[in-house]
Amino acid sequence: MTIRRPAPLAVLAALPLLAMAACGDNDRDRSRPEATSPANDEASRLRQSIESATFTPPAPDTDTDTGSGANATADSSGRGGAVSGELPDQARPDPAMVRVQILLDRSRFSPGIVDGLGGENTRQAIAAFEAANDMEVDGELDAAVFDRLTSGDTARVLSDYTITEADVAGPFIGTVPDDLADMAGLETVGYTDPLEALAEKFHMSEALLEALNPDVDFGRAGQTIVVASTGQPALDGKVARIVIDKAESSLRAFDADGKLLAFYPATIGSGEMPSPTGTHTVRAIAPRPNYTYDPSRVSYGEGGSKVIVPPGPNNPVGSVWIDLSKDTYGIHGTPEPAKIGKTASSGCVRLTNWDVEQLADAVEQGVTVEFT
């Protein structure tokens, strides 16, 4: 699906957040399925391996570049032909990589989606972590990086989570339409199903969530599942300056004293539709934005009629729009977190929904945005 820039005036008309169903106790079984099947036995071993993972140098003839969650599997959603709880051999998560990605996420050096597969976003996050910690910068996961991450954060990287009534309340839309006109006919562009919602809540690929929790009905409240303990708390201060590196496909947020608050992988424009240049400012922040395609105001697309798509996490601009002083440009979320940094945009800066939400909470009108 092509992501198009919205017209800010329409985007800023964000719809109010709908009240979620209250969480509450019920009489349903809250226990995780016992490890009585091969799939559950394998999941139990994977969980233990992630928590106890140590760094082991790869064999000399081993290709350690596993790609990314977007291209290492047949389907980046984790549903490409794999039975629930199973992964094709080429997409099996590396326990040490899962641990590292979660620790990077908690340190605010976002690897994007946590999938245990590594890839360019993880390399960029490691490089940013190395630079911030005065280490040799090469973006490679080695013993020094692993030791620094694990010694600085000794808390468990997986945690139990009980699915709530709110998690399964939806609304879920089944399939996200490809056509904007069809999308505009929806009341909200919600998650496709509870699996997608839960995976995004914990910054995970659906494949990894299923591998950790085989035989689970993610649409049933009361079940306890194992998830990435990302947490990703609020940034340590207010953002005063944002630097967007086009060559690196990244966004860095700094406070007024120049301290790095966060690093995020990003999708930034394309050759045909480049992002802005120079310095701009944040004009406004819109949670749950709608998306407007107005052919009279933009230079991309195939003409047609004006279309307004309602809010929702699978809206073309995701869950948040940070409007820039450069008209029709912004920093926003995405319906496809596994593709961050691997595809093109129509000139805007695209982050995962959870990263842009964290950034937006620390950004105010007038913050400087530099494109380099």
What digits encode the pLDDT tens for the residues 342-372? 876 667 999 999 999 999 999 999 999 999 9
Average confidence score pLDDT of the chain: 83
- 282-330 pLDDT tens trace: 999 999 999 988 776 665 556 578 899 999 999 999 999 999 999 989 9
At 210, list the tokens. Answer: 């299923």
pLDDT given for residue 305 in this prediction = 80
- 166-187 pLDDT tens trace: 999 999 999 999 999 999 999 9
**356: domain CATH number?**
2.40.440.10
> For residue 85, is it within any domain?
no
> For residue 31, is it within any domain?
no
What percent of the chain stands above pLDDT 70? Answer: 78
Domain housing 320: 8-15+233-371
pLDDT given for residue 294 in this prediction = 77
> For residue 261, is it within any domain?
yes
Strand, coil or helix: what is 78?
Answer: coil
pLDDT of 221 over the 80 cut? yes
pLDDT given for residue 233 in this prediction = 76
> For residue 184, is it within any domain?
no
The kind and range of the H/E element at 368 are strand 368-371
**Cβ atoms of residues 228 and 202 within 8 Å:** yes
At 90, is the pLDDT very low, low, confident or very high (cuts 50, 70, 90)?
low
In whole angstroms, give the CA distance from residue 353 to residue 370: 21
User: What is the pTM for the complete model shown?
Assistant: 0.82
For tokens 């310095």, what's the residue?
279
> For residue 327, is it within any domain?
yes
Cα→Cα distances 20→3, 179, 361, Å:
28, 28, 20
> For residue 271, is it within any domain?
yes
Number of domains in the chain: 1
In whole angstroms, give the CA distance from residue 188 to residue 103: 33
First to last CA, the chain: 27
pLDDT given for residue 76 in this prediction = 30
**Cβ atoms of residues 354 and 334 within 8 Å:** no
> For residue 43, is it within any domain?
no
> For residue 138, is it within any domain?
no
